Structure 1
Amino acid sequence: MRLIQITDCHLLADPSAHGRIGVPLRQLDAVVEAVNRARPQRVLVTGDVSQDETAASYRLAERALAQLDAPWCWLPGNHDQPTLMAECHALHDELDLDDWRVLLLDTHISGQPGGELGALRLADLGERLAGDDRPTLLMMHHPPLPVGSAWLDEIGLADAGAFWRVVAPHSQVRGVFFGHVHQAFQGVHALADREVAVYGCPATTDQFLPGSTTFALDEASRPGYRLIDLGKGGFETRVERVDL
């Protein structure tokens, strides 16, 4: 089964409005067209769908994502308004994919650039992992480990330590995927008995410069998406870039 992750669309109410580099809606349309050529069975949008947090921006997103040839779902990022998202297109917390499942985790904190799961969501995650031992992927917006950019590492997942303590007893967690960082990223988190692969995804809009101490754009990089091919107990993943 093929999944595709797209993230950080940063749409505005005005469909012709410019972002930092380019027009976000046009960039999203180009990514959607490229994703369709890759023929996924599911598409997951990992947050920051909106930039201005307006109902109109979510309606634009829903119309653009409706052009996908596969079912899609989304979760909120720090720029999003979950209530407005849910009014436009349902928020789901799990995908049942026969031999696999994907858990969608909400790390949104209202009014804050960083993220957190919090005690209740962490407890729920632990219960869901304990109740099903199928191979599992976790999707969220905020990175649960440092990505090597000082300014981004300050606004990652605040309770990352608690998150990994919940994950540790559950060897069926095969990988963690996040948005927020506007760049390709691949790393691992070491647990006592194994390592868990962790992946970031390029934005559909502008890209951030990897390894930067302060905010900086990578003007030479293009929008992209992450492709995830699920196999028997394992997966392969890579990033694809999109020409505009």
Structure 2
Amino acid sequence: MRLIQITDCHLHADPAARCRTGLPHRQLERVVAAAAGLRPDMVLLTGDISEDRTAASYAEAERLLAPLDCPWFWLPGNHDDPGLMADCRPFLDAVDLDARRLLLLDTQRIGQEAGELGEARLAAFAARLAEDDRPTLVLMHHPPVAVGSAWMDALGLADAAAFWDVVADHAHVEAVLCGHIHQAFAGRGPEAAGGVPVYGCPSTSDQFLPGAEDFAVDEASRPGFRVVDLSRGAFATWVERVEL
């Protein structure tokens, strides 16, 4: 089974609107075309679909994703309006992947750049993990680990320690895929929670400079997406970049 992660599209109601380094609508269109060429079984969007929180921006996302010949699912990021997103396409908490499961976590904290799960969502996450012991992939917008950029690490998952406490009780969590950081990333959670791999993904809009102390755009980097190939007992992932 092949999954593709797309993230941080930052679309506007106006398809001609610009981001810092280009045109988000055109860039997502190129990313979708490249992703479709790899024949995914499923596409997963990990938040910040919109920049202006308009219904029209989510309608644009649906239009641009239409060429995909597979199911796709999304979750909200800190820039999104969850109500408008759900009106356009409902959220799912879990997706069956045959021998595996996928759990989608909402880490949005209204009005804040940083994320948080909170007690209720952590409890629901723990309950979903407890009900099924198949290998499980977890998707979220905010990274639950430091990525090495001081300004971005201040805007990660505020209750990451509580998230990893839940994971520590469930050894079948196989990997975490996150958005928000606008860059390729591979790290691990704490050893006490099994050292679960954590993967970040390039944005389809602007790329952020890895290792920066303060906010900085990586103007030399290109938009991209993450590919995850799953087979029985095997997990492989890599990042593809897209020429504009």
> What is the correspondence of 1:118-133 to structure 2 with a 5 Å cutoff?
118-133=118-133
Aligned counterparts of 1:91 and 1:116: Cα–Cα separation in 2: 18
Aligned counterparts of 1:169 and 1:75: Cα–Cα separation in 2: 25
Aligned counterparts of 1:108 and 1:190: Cα–Cα separation in 2: 23
Q: Which residue of 2 aligns with 1:59?
A: 59
Q: Which residue of 1 aligns with 2:8?
A: 8
Q: Are the aligned partners of 1:135 and 1:233 in contact in 2 as well (CA < 8 Å)?
A: no
Q: Which residue of 1 aligns with 2:137?
A: 137
Aligned counterparts of 1:125 and 1:137: Cα–Cα separation in 2: 12
RMSD: 0.8
Shift of the alpha carbon at 1:169?
A: 1.2
Shift of the alpha carbon at 1:26?
A: 0.3
Q: Which residue of 2 aligns with 1:182?
A: 182
Q: Are the aligned partners of 1:168 and 1:191 in contact in 2 as well (CA < 8 Å)?
A: no
Q: Are the aligned partners of 1:6 and 1:44 in contact in 2 as well (CA < 8 Å)?
A: yes
Query: Structure 1 length normalisation: TM-score?
Result: 0.98
Shift of the alpha carbon at 1:191?
A: 2.8
Q: Are the aligned partners of 2:165 and 2:193 in contact in 1 as well (CA < 8 Å)?
A: no
Aligned counterparts of 2:75 and 2:56: Cα–Cα separation in 1: 17
Q: Which residue of 1 aligns with 2:82?
A: 82
Q: Which residue of 1 aligns with 2:173?
A: 173
Q: Are the aligned partners of 1:8 and 1:179 in contact in 2 as well (CA < 8 Å)?
A: yes
Aligned counterparts of 1:224 and 1:144: Cα–Cα separation in 2: 21
Aligned counterparts of 2:215 and 2:234: Cα–Cα separation in 1: 35
> What is the correspondence of 1:19-30 to structure 2 with a 5 Å cutoff?
19-30=19-30
Q: Which residue of 2 aligns with 1:218?
A: 218
Listed one character per residue, the Cα deviations across residues 22-55 of structure 1 (whole Å, up to 9, x for unaligned) are: 1100000000000001110000000000001111
Q: Determine whether 1:116 maps to 2:116.
A: yes
**Identical-residue share of aligned pairs (%):** 63
Aligned counterparts of 2:98 and 2:170: Cα–Cα separation in 1: 19
Aligned counterparts of 2:233 and 2:82: Cα–Cα separation in 1: 32
Q: Are the aligned partners of 2:164 and 2:190 in contact in 1 as well (CA < 8 Å)?
A: no
One-letter identity of the residue aligned with 2:127: E
Shift of the alpha carbon at 1:194?
A: 2.8
2:37 alignment partner, SS class: helix
Q: Are the aligned partners of 1:6 and 1:46 in contact in 2 as well (CA < 8 Å)?
A: yes
Q: Which residue of 2 aligns with 1:162?
A: 162
Query: Structure 2 length normalisation: TM-score?
Result: 0.98
Aligned counterparts of 1:221 and 1:12: Cα–Cα separation in 2: 22
Aligned counterparts of 2:90 and 2:190: Cα–Cα separation in 1: 34
Q: Which residue of 2 aligns with 1:101?
A: 101
Shift of the alpha carbon at 1:243?
A: 0.5
Aligned counterparts of 1:140 and 1:69: Cα–Cα separation in 2: 24
Shift of the alpha carbon at 1:193?
A: 6.7
Q: Are the aligned partners of 2:167 and 2:193 in contact in 1 as well (CA < 8 Å)?
A: no
One-letter identity of the residue aligned with 1:181: I
One-letter identity of the residue aligned with 1:127: A
Shift of the alpha carbon at 1:90?
A: 1.4
Q: Are the aligned partners of 1:102 and 1:139 in contact in 2 as well (CA < 8 Å)?
A: yes
Aligned counterparts of 2:65 and 2:94: Cα–Cα separation in 1: 19
Shift of the alpha carbon at 1:111?
A: 1.0
Judge which range, 37-46 or 191-200, deviates more.
191-200
Structure 1 unaligned segments of length 5 or more: list them.
none
1:238 alignment partner, SS class: strand
1:225 alignment partner, SS class: strand
1:43 alignment partner, SS class: strand
Shift of the alpha carbon at 1:106?
A: 0.2
One-letter identity of the residue aligned with 1:32: V
Aligned counterparts of 1:233 and 1:173: Cα–Cα separation in 2: 13
1:228 alignment partner, SS class: strand
Aligned counterparts of 2:113 and 2:66: Cα–Cα separation in 1: 28
